[in-house]
Structure 1
Amino acid sequence: MKVTQAGAALFAAGAIAAPSNTKPVKASPRQASGACASAVTLDASTNVFQNYKLHPNSFYRDEVNKAVEAITDASLKESAAKVADVGSFLWLDTIENIGKFDPAVADLPCENILGLVIYDLPGRDCAAKASNGELKVGELDRYKTEYIDPIVEKLKANPNSAFALLIEPDSLPNLVTNADLTTCQESKTGYEEGVAYALKSLDLPNVVMYIDAGHGGWLGWDDNLKPGAEELAKVYKNAGSPKQVRGFATNIAGWNAWDESPGEFSDASDAKYNSCQNEKIYVQKFGDALKTAGHPNHAIVDTGRNAVTGLREEWGNWCNVNGAGFGVRPTADTGDELADAFVWGKPGGESDGTSDESATRYDSFCGKPDAYKPSPEAGQWNQAYFEMLLKNANPAF
C-alpha cells in the first residue's frame, strides 16, 4: 500500500488476508447436488452478479454459528445468527485448503455463485509478515502443479456451477509500490508469471475473474494510477487476455468507504496527491486507467468491514482496525456502472494478524494504536472482534 506521495510503502499490504484455521474436508471432485441442470456459461462482458447471488459458503457459516453459541446476550445472539446467511468469499489460501472446495460447492444452488480467493503465490505478501504464504520464492512450479492445476481440475469437475474468482490479493500492487524492497524484487518474476498462469489456466466458461488492485489509498495515489494499471494489463496480456477476466477487485479486507465525501483522509497534508479519496472515485479513475492500458475495467468492492470511518491514523493501517463494523451486504445494486457488486471478501471475525510482539509472524501494524488488541494469528477467529463488527454494523443486523 502507499500512504504518502514521497515515500515508498514499507508496510504490510498482505496481512489483509491470511490462511484460515478451519480444517478442510478432503473429498474427491464431484458435481454439486444443488447445481444447475446444464453447464453454466458466464458472459464476462456482463455483470454476472445481476443474475447470481454471492453464496454464503459453509466454512464461514460454521465459524459464525460457533460464534453465536458463545454469545449470551439474547438480542446480540439473534443478530449474530443472521451473519451466517451473508455471502462471502472462501479463501483457498494454501494447498491443503483446496480441500475446502468440495464441501463448499456441495450445497451451492444454481442461483448462487461461489466466491473463491486464489491466494498462494511464491513469496506471498512480500511487504508483510502476518500472512506470508507457504511457498518460497522460486517455487513457481509448485504453485502451478500443486495449487493452480488442482483448482482447475475441481472447477472443470463442476461445470454446472458458477464461480467468481478473486485473483491473488496484494501481489501486483506490491510490485508497483514496494519495488524498493528486496523481498518484492525477489518475488517479481514469480508474481507476474504465477498470476499469468492462473489467469490462463482458470479461464473456464463457468468462471468470472477479478484481479486484485489494492484500494484507493494504495494505487489510488496520482503517481500510482498509471503504473498500477499498466502492471495489471501487462500480466493480463501475458496470459493471452483471457476472456473470463471481468476486471479488478478493490478494498479486499480493507476499510475504505465507498462514497464518503469529503474522504476519510481529505484533510491530510498529502491529500492533494491522492484524488481517490473514496473507493467510488478509485473505481472510476483506476478503471479509466485500465481501459487505456487495455485491461477489462469493471470492479467488485469489499464492503465487509467498512461501516465505520475515521478510525485509522493513516491510509495504510490495515490490521484489525479497532471500532470497525460490518458494512453493506453483498449486492449488485451499487449505483455505479463500473462497480459490478459490493461483496464480502474478508470473513469478518477472522484476524488480520497477531498483536503478540513475540510471535514470529508479528507485524508492527498489528501493534499500532488503532489496531484491536489482543488479536490472534492471522486467519484465526477473534470472538470479541466479531461481536464488535456486529454491534457497529451499518446497516444493522
Structure 2
Amino acid sequence: MQAPRRRRRLALTGVAVGALAAGGLTFASANQALAEEGCQVDYNVVSSWGGGFQANVVITAGEAINGWEVEWDFPSGTSVSSAWNVDWNVSGGHFTGGDVGWNSTIASGQSKEVFGFIGSGSSATPGEFSVNGDVCGEVTEPPTSEDPTDDPTDDPGNPGDKVDNPYTGANVYVNPQWSANAAAEPGGDAVANEPTGVWLDRTSAIYGNDSPTTGSMGLEDHLDHAIENGYDLIQIVIYNLPGRDCAALASNGELAAGEIDAYKNDYIDPIVEIQGQAKYADLKIVNVIEIDSLPNLVTNVSPRETATANCDTMKNNGNYVDGVSYAVAELGALSNTYNYIDAGHHGWIGWGDVNPQYDNFNASAALFGSLIGENGMTADDVHGFISNTANYSALEEPYWEVDQNVGGQALNQNANLPWVDWNDFNNEKDFTQAMREELIANGFNEDIGMLIDTSRNGWGGDYRPTGTSTSTDPVTFVDESRIDQRFQKGNWCNQAGAGLGERPQADPEAWIDAYVWIKPPGESDGSSELIDNDEGKGFDEMCDPDYQGNIRNGNNPSGARDNMPISGHWSSEQFQELLENAYPPVN
C-alpha cells in the first residue's frame, strides 16, 4: 500500500488558482464577505493585460441557495465585453448576473465558482456585493482542527485505498453541455444520456471559457454538478502537454515545446488542487492522461522514415516523459483519482513480433515502463491504460483473423497486403489484452485494467459486411471481410462512414475495466481547411478530404469529412452520420 503524500495547497478563497497573466505572473484580488444573510463573494482577477482583465466569481452559501443573482458597482470606466455561465447585464456601471439553470444551486457552506467574464478598464475590486438582495458582510472563519495534519483539505488520503475497477456499479457523469448538443439533434436523445469525457485542452478550460461546445463550465463546475446530481464517477481528459501532438497539427496546443514549467505549475497543479478538495472525496475521478503523446516518441522520431521534426524535439527535450510522469504522480497521490495513460491503438503501435524491424508494440510498453521513478511516479499511481482514444479502430473484427491463411499465406505475413501491413492485431480487444501483459512485464501492477474508447468505432450502416469473404485473393478477402472501412489504419481525422460503437459499459471483459466514450461524438477532430482561431489549434492536411496522404498513412487518401470545424467544435453532420452508422444500432 502506498503511503499518502502531502503536497502544498494553493489558497482556494480569494485568490486565483493557477491562472496566468502575461509574463508568467499570477494576479489575484478578492472581496470576501459573510453576513447573517449568509452570502460570501470572492472576486478573483485571474489575469490582466494592457487595458483588460479576466475575473472569476465565487459564491459561498451560508444557507443553501437555489437560484442566485449577484450585483455590484464597477469602478468608473469599467465595462464587460463577454461572460460565461451567467445571464448578465451592465447598466451605468452596475453589474447584475444570474444563474443559467445548471449552476443555480449552491449547498449550505459550499463555495462555488459560478461564472467568469472579460472586462476592460479598472480591475480593482468593487466595494460591495449582494446576493439575492442581501449585502454581504464580514468573513467568519470556520473552526480549525487542533492538529493541522487532520485538515481534510490538505491531506489527499491514502491512494492505496482504491477499488479495483472504479466503473463497476458506478453512475458515470453525463456532461450537460455535450448532452444538450446531442439532444438537440434529430434522434440524438437516444444517446444524449451517455457519459462522455470532459476535456481540459487548454489552461482556461480549468476555469471555464467561452468555447461553444466544451467551454463555459470549468473543472470545479463539472465536479460540483456531478455531486449535486448523484453521479459517483467523472472522466477528465488531461490534454495540454508542451509541444502537444507532435506528429499532427489539428490539435496542437497552447504550450510551446519547452514550456514544461508552465504545464506543471499552471495546468497540472491547479487540477490537482481542485480534484483534491475534501468535498470531492467520495467522487471517483478517472483521469485520461495525455492522448497521442508517448507513442509518438517511438513511431515518429529519427531514424524512422516517419519522423517529424517536432517529435524529434520532444524526444530530445524529454518533456513528454517529464510532463506525463509529473501529471500521473501528482494526480495519483490523491485518494479519489484513477489514472489511465493513453496507449495508442492497434493500428498505430500494433507492430511487434511479426515484424521486429518496426517494433512499436514492445518498444512502447518499455517506454511506458521507463516512466516509473520519474518525478516520484510509482506503479501504484497508474490504475490502467486506455486504447483508441478519439480514434476509429474496430473493437473486434468478427469475420477474419489477422494470422488467417488465405491464398497459401498468413495474412500478416503477406508483403502485398497493405491493410494488414504485418500488424500483429486487427482489433482493439486482442491488442489491449496483449498490451496489458506487456505492460505488467515492464513494471506495472498485475491488477491494472484497460479502457477502450468505443465512441466512434462501430462501423455499422449499409457497408458493414455480414459474413466472411469467399475470395482466395488476400486483398479482396480482407476488404470484403473487414468492418473498419477506412482507407488505412493511420487515418485519424473525421473519418467518413464511421458510426457510434458499443455504449459505455463496465466489465465487458476480464481485462477491460470499461468501454468508454472519452471522445464526445459530434466534436470535430480538426478543421477541413485552415481556420484562424485563438485556441492554438492548427490545420492538418489529414483533415482535408482531398489530401492523398503521406508516409504515416501509407500514402492513402485521408478519408476525412468535408466542412468540419476546428477540433473540439460541434458538427451536426458528423453526429448524424455517427447515429446512422452506429453498431450496435441506435433504437
> Can you list the C-alpha shifts for 1:113-148, whole angstroms capped at 9, x where unaligned?
100000000000011110000000111110011100
Mapped to 2, the partners of 1:116 and 1:372 lie a distance apart of: 27
Offset at 1:173? 0.7
Match of 1:185 among 312, 315, 318: 312
Match of 1:314, SS state, is coil
Mapped to 2, the partners of 1:228 and 1:27 lie a distance apart of: 44
Structure-2 residue corresponding to 1:330: 504
Structure-2 residue corresponding to 1:55: 173
Structure-1 residue corresponding to 2:221: 103
Match of 1:199 among 319, 328, 341: 328
1:281 maps to 2:408? no
Q: Relative to 1, partners in 2 of residues 1:358 and 1:103: Cα closer, same or farther, differing over 3 Å?
A: closer
Match of 2:194 among 82, 86, 90: 86
Q: Select between 100-109 and 298-307 the one with higher mean Cα deviation.
A: 100-109
Mapped to 2, the partners of 1:51 and 1:147 lie a distance apart of: 31
Q: CA RMSD in A?
A: 2.8
Mapped to 1, the partners of 2:402 and 2:574 lie a distance apart of: 22
Mapped to 2, the partners of 1:358 and 1:387 lie a distance apart of: 23
User: Contact 2:175–2:222 at 8 Å: present in 1 too?
Assistant: yes
Gaps of 5+ in 2: 1-53, 62-104, 108-151, 208-217, 303-307, 353-358, 404-410, 460-482, 546-556
1:143 maps to 2:263? yes
1:255 maps to 2:423? no
Mapped to 2, the partners of 1:282 and 1:44 lie a distance apart of: 26
1:175 maps to 2:175? no
Offset at 1:91? 0.3
Match of 2:345, SS state, is coil
Mapped to 2, the partners of 1:264 and 1:373 lie a distance apart of: 32
Offset at 1:324? 1.0
Structure-1 residue corresponding to 2:341: 211
Mapped to 2, the partners of 1:62 and 1:121 lie a distance apart of: 29
Residue identity in the other structure for 2:383: R
Q: Relative to 1, partners in 2 of residues 1:324 and 1:146: Cα closer, same or farther, differing over 3 Å?
A: same
Q: Relative to 1, partners in 2 of residues 1:29 and 1:51: Cα closer, same or farther, differing over 3 Å?
A: farther
Mapped to 2, the partners of 1:263 and 1:349 lie a distance apart of: 31
Offset at 1:45? 6.3
Structure-2 residue corresponding to 1:243: 380
User: Contact 2:531–2:566 at 8 Å: present in 1 too?
Assistant: no
> Can you list the C-alpha shifts for 1:58-86, whole angstroms capped at 9, x where unaligned?
23123324xx1xx5xxxxx3x31132200
Q: Relative to 1, partners in 2 of residues 1:25 and 1:112: Cα closer, same or farther, differing over 3 Å?
A: farther
Residue identity in the other structure for 1:136: A
Residue identity in the other structure for 1:129: L
TM-score between both structures, scaled by the size of structure 1? 0.84
Match of 1:48, SS state, is coil
Mapped to 2, the partners of 1:26 and 1:160 lie a distance apart of: 26
Q: Relative to 1, partners in 2 of residues 1:342 and 1:147: Cα closer, same or farther, differing over 3 Å?
A: same
Match of 1:243, SS state, is helix
Match of 2:324, SS state, is helix
Match of 2:577 among 368, 388, 393: 388
Structure-2 residue corresponding to 1:362: 539
| Higher RCO by CA contacts (8 Å cutoff, separation 6 or greater) | 1
Q: Relative to 1, partners in 2 of residues 1:183 and 1:154: Cα closer, same or farther, differing over 3 Å?
A: same
Mapped to 1, the partners of 2:57 and 2:195 lie a distance apart of: 23
Mapped to 2, the partners of 1:352 and 1:271 lie a distance apart of: 24
Gaps of 5+ in 1: 1-23, 72-76
Match of 1:351, SS state, is coil
User: Contact 1:229–1:286 at 8 Å: present in 2 too?
Assistant: yes
Match of 1:341, SS state, is strand
Mapped to 2, the partners of 1:225 and 1:191 lie a distance apart of: 18
Q: Relative to 1, partners in 2 of residues 1:178 and 1:113: Cα closer, same or farther, differing over 3 Å?
A: same
User: Contact 1:192–1:235 at 8 Å: present in 2 too?
Assistant: yes
Match of 2:339, SS state, is strand
1:339 maps to 2:512? yes
Offset at 1:310? 3.1
Mapped to 2, the partners of 1:111 and 1:33 lie a distance apart of: 17
Please list, as runs of the form range in 1=range in 2, the aligned pairs for 1:213-232 lying within 5 A after superposition: 213-222=343-352, 223-232=359-368
User: Contact 1:356–1:362 at 8 Å: present in 2 too?
Assistant: yes
Mapped to 2, the partners of 1:280 and 1:43 lie a distance apart of: 29
Mapped to 2, the partners of 1:175 and 1:80 lie a distance apart of: 38
Offset at 1:106? 2.0
Match of 1:221, SS state, is coil
Mapped to 2, the partners of 1:182 and 1:44 lie a distance apart of: 41
Percentage identity across aligned positions? 36
Offset at 1:252? 0.3
Instruction: Indicate the structure with greater strand content.
Output: 2
Mapped to 1, the partners of 2:494 and 2:350 lie a distance apart of: 22
